[in-house]
Amino acid sequence: MADPDEPKPVIRMAQYASVGLEMGIAVAIGVGLGHLADNHFGTNPWLMLVGLLLGTVAGFKGLFDAAKKAKRSLESPKDRHDS
């Protein structure tokens, strides 16, 4: 019997599909803020590159967090209590 605390398959698919969107938004925000800072300080293109790097790191962190969450949801309840 299905666990009532488990999300429905459609909701789970939407959560996993949003990971790519989350990564793209994180990179776009990092680049955008870096570009604005470059315009303000006149440091083209260095702060934009730093923003790109930070946005990429934030995007991958979200990807790894989603992977950990997916792994936990696939474990059996017995495995969850053992760790």
Q: Residue 17 is inside which H or E element, if any?
A: helix 9-41
pLDDT of residue 82: 54
What tokens does 56 get? Answer: 């990429």
Across all residues in the chain, what is the average pLDDT?
86
**Residue that is written with structure tokens 């967090």 in the block:** 65
Which DSSP symbol is given to 31?
H
Return the domain boundaries, the chain. 17-69
Predicted structure pTM score? 0.77
The torsion angles phi and psi of 42, rounded to 5 degrees, stand at 70, 40
Backbone conformation region of residue 42, classed left if phi is above 0, alpha if psi is from -120 to 50, else beta: left
pLDDT of residue 11: 82
